[in-house]
Chains A and B, each alone.
Chain A
């Protein structure tokens, strides 16, 4: 099988984590345990205090995780690492450092770069760079259409052979139904998932925020929720007709969740993701015209937010994805209508959803962990699990500790985080990805 995840060489960890509250909803483990990592693999999971580091090399470390939680490390199926071409916003090194700091062991990067990832040469060069710079295993989507222009298919089969996990024109919709249908037909040859940013440009127009009471008050042109939901409904119908595998990115409104549920129930092979910001914020935040709250799709109403949460709980929406979208300070220091869309999210995904939804009792912790680790499997990647013989992909989190977002800067090169300044519970203490320690709280990353 073609390799689909790429990261820089790292030494396999030898590690004893003692007395952690180990929770993995897939294996059913939920309680105080010791976890022994040998040579980058989980060698033993035992009762708290039962394991010793005796079998590990003398250089091995023992981490007292009393009061902390160990989860399978997270997977983010939707990040913008901005390379090639926009390294002033982010690059593979800084973006994956942010991922490591956020507790992620796999990320999937979007192809709306400059140039677009629509050619094997571009993908190969990125894979090479990932092999030198990526702190955590990184996968790539290639574009559906050449240059994201919506008129010619990218060489999907060749891109798939070269390592692309799937295809998306993210940032833009595939406006033409005929074009999308051809891509879905071609998927039977190329494989991979077709992921879609759903938006009807004719309905979005010049909109820059959700169309509703807040946009009416601000006099800022709105993007109606039907801009997204009509495309989810249209494309689900096409997916069903072609029996194609389709994934909807960053769903934002109740009508989209309803369309996804309807078509899934009618046999379409469609899935969906939700972002921490759509799960926890509404367009009320935009009243300030703070450009950190400008993203696409936009923050919508409380009714929409609740529908996204409910969709995530019920499983209509399978996973949480950050849509980490870094922009330079000078780009965001603009009037709202002029500023680019996007918020960073890798370093706050867990803490935002945990603090806003799990801690108040809206979502169970186990369910959140399941949704934070499900994104890669949608693209055929192995799911990180806490079980013996598995590759060590572990995140250690102190749920009692809190932090102020951005107070000590960001691992990301950009600081356009919509949660900037908020105080959240859930501090990532340690991230082990693909068997190597890639992040430790308070320690300078080996860059």
Chain B
């Protein structure tokens, strides 16, 4: 791995496995009464969030804190970003604090890669536009591995608004690297043209969803109705909602959150045993600790600490 985590496409299976092995040991830390290790004591992590976020920002903050780093959280509202400061100028300002890492969430594709050009800090992409969300993909793989052991040969369906989903793009790449077969399904208006180029199959209906071992449900955003991607939430739910009528026994269900209960997924599925949603959130902290650790402390010491 380079000094940054920008997208899953830039790392290979070995690196994913190394991060997740590390995450496993941090998951054990999270189970202790004192959930803190001194790994990043005296180092600064900047969380730079240009988009609303609950779970990603809180889990990055918690991850850095549990590694004993000093954490600065900057959000676009109430900061100089709101006054029109450019991304480059903001990054240069923050770089003056000599942070060890900058975690960035941006509504624009490529923002994290740009930040990496402008700073000596390690850069972690916490979501850039509709492009990539690599730590989400890592925690999704971690969650599946924890439940199923490995992903090789697994059949994973990603269902819903693939067009607008950075989670879908990073998951397609990560699941495939871990040996799974990926199918995307959703309304034809919400499947990107030429998505098959990513090596997945694309289906306009859920007729064959019985093939799936894992159903990964994407959030269906209300604003998509105004943009005429689907006629109504009701029609979407009728054709694409993941509920017990569509699922067969033995299938697992995941969702990156936040969920729209009763839209893309039924409330009873969310609250059932087959849903891994809570495990995904828990995995988020351990995986982000592992990412920060790998980038800032490095793999050289991996054996010694493990």
B-binding residues in A (CB < 8 A): 211-213, 215-222, 224, 289, 330, 333-338
- The CB with the most chain B CB atoms within 10 A, among A212, A222, A333, is that of A333
Q: A211-B193, A212-B194, A334-B86 are in contact. Are A217 and B110 (CB under 8 A)?
A: no
CB <8 Å contact, A219 and B109: yes
9 pairs of A and B residues whose beta carbons are closest in the complex: A219-B130, A335-B108, A213-B197, A289-B110, A216-B192, A213-B194, A219-B131, A335-B111, A216-B195
Q: Could you list 23 A-B pairs, sorted by A, with CB under 8 Å?
A: A212-B194, A216-B192, A216-B194, A218-B109, A218-B110, A218-B131, A219-B166, A219-B169, A220-B129, A220-B130, A220-B131, A222-B193, A330-B86, A334-B108, A334-B114, A335-B108, A335-B114, A335-B128, A336-B108, A336-B109, A336-B110, A337-B108, A337-B129
Is residue B206 contacting chain A, with contact meaning CB distance below 8 A? no
Partner of A335, one of B110, B166, B193: B110
Is residue B57 contacting chain A, with contact meaning CB distance below 8 A? no
Residues in B91-133 with C-beta less than 8 Å from chain A: 106, 108-111, 113-114, 128-132
- The CB with the most chain A CB atoms within 10 A, among B109, B130, B193, B195, is that of B109
CB <8 Å contact, A334 and B87: yes
Residues in B128-165 with C-beta less than 8 Å from chain A: 128-132, 164-165
CB <8 Å contact, B129 and A335: yes
Cα–Cα, bound, A334→B115 (Å): 10
Cα–Cα, bound, A221→B164 (Å): 9
Q: Mark B229-268, 1 if CB is under 8 A from A, else 0.
A: 0000000000000000000000000000000000000000
Cα–Cα, bound, A217→B131 (Å): 8
- For residue A219, which residues in chain B have a CB less than 8 angstroms away from its CB? 109, 129-132, 164-166, 169, 192
Is residue B222 contacting chain A, with contact meaning CB distance below 8 A? no
Is residue B37 contacting chain A, with contact meaning CB distance below 8 A? no
CB <8 Å contact, A335 and B198: no
Is residue B88 contacting chain A, with contact meaning CB distance below 8 A? yes
Q: How far, in Å, is B224 (CB) from chain A's closest CB?
A: 13
A-binding residues in B (CB < 8 A): 86-88, 106, 108-111, 113-114, 128-132, 164-166, 169, 192-195, 197-198
Partner of A216, one of B108, B110, B166, B197: B197
- For residue A220, which residues in chain B have a CB less than 8 angstroms away from its CB? 109, 129-131
- For residue B192, which residues in chain A have a CB less than 8 angstroms away from its CB? 215-216, 219, 222
Of all chain B residues, the one with the shortest Cβ separation from A291 is B110
CB <8 Å contact, B87 and A335: yes
Q: How far, in Å, is B6 (CB) from chain A's closest CB?
A: 10
- For residue A289, which residues in chain B have a CB less than 8 angstroms away from its CB? 109-110, 113
Q: How far, in Å, is A136 (CB) from chain B's closest CB?
A: 35
- For residue A333, which residues in chain B have a CB less than 8 angstroms away from its CB? 86, 88, 114
CB <8 Å contact, B130 and A217: no
- For residue B132, which residues in chain A have a CB less than 8 angstroms away from its CB? 219
Cα–Cα, bound, A216→B196 (Å): 9
CB <8 Å contact, A217 and B169: yes
Q: How far, in Å, is B92 (CB) from chain A's closest CB?
A: 11
- The CB with the most chain B CB atoms within 10 A, among A217, A221, A222, A336, is that of A217
Of all chain B residues, the one with the shortest Cβ separation from A333 is B88
Cα–Cα, bound, A301→B295 (Å): 36
- For residue B106, which residues in chain A have a CB less than 8 angstroms away from its CB? 335
- For residue B87, which residues in chain A have a CB less than 8 angstroms away from its CB? 334-335
CB <8 Å contact, B108 and A338: yes
- The CB with the most chain B CB atoms within 10 A, among A212, A213, A222, is that of A213
Q: How far, in Å, is B160 (CB) from chain A's closest CB?
A: 15
Cα–Cα, bound, A249→B195 (Å): 30
Of all chain A residues, the one with the shortest Cβ separation from B112 is A335
Q: How far, in Å, is B40 (CB) from chain A's closest CB?
A: 28
Q: How far, in Å, is B83 (CB) from chain A's closest CB?
A: 16
CB <8 Å contact, A217 and B108: no
Of all chain B residues, the one with the shortest Cβ separation from A289 is B110
- For residue A330, which residues in chain B have a CB less than 8 angstroms away from its CB? 86, 88
CB <8 Å contact, A216 and B130: no
Cα–Cα, bound, A335→B192 (Å): 21
Cα–Cα, bound, A209→B278 (Å): 37
- For residue A338, which residues in chain B have a CB less than 8 angstroms away from its CB? 108
Q: How far, in Å, is B167 (CB) from chain A's closest CB?
A: 10
Cα–Cα, bound, A179→B194 (Å): 35
- For residue A213, which residues in chain B have a CB less than 8 angstroms away from its CB? 194, 197
- For residue B113, which residues in chain A have a CB less than 8 angstroms away from its CB? 289
Beyond the given pairs A216-B192, A220-B130, A337-B129, 11 more chain A to chain B contacts, judged by CB atoms under 8 angstroms and listed by A's residue number, are A218-B109, A219-B129, A219-B131, A219-B169, A220-B109, A220-B129, A221-B130, A289-B110, A335-B128, A336-B108, A336-B109
Q: A219-B129, A222-B193 are in contact. Are A337 and B86 (CB under 8 A)?
A: no
Of all chain A residues, the one with the shortest Cβ separation from B111 is A335
CB <8 Å contact, A216 and B131: no
Q: How far, in Å, is A10 (CB) from chain B's closest CB?
A: 41
- For residue B198, which residues in chain A have a CB less than 8 angstroms away from its CB? 216-217
- For residue A218, which residues in chain B have a CB less than 8 angstroms away from its CB? 109-110, 131
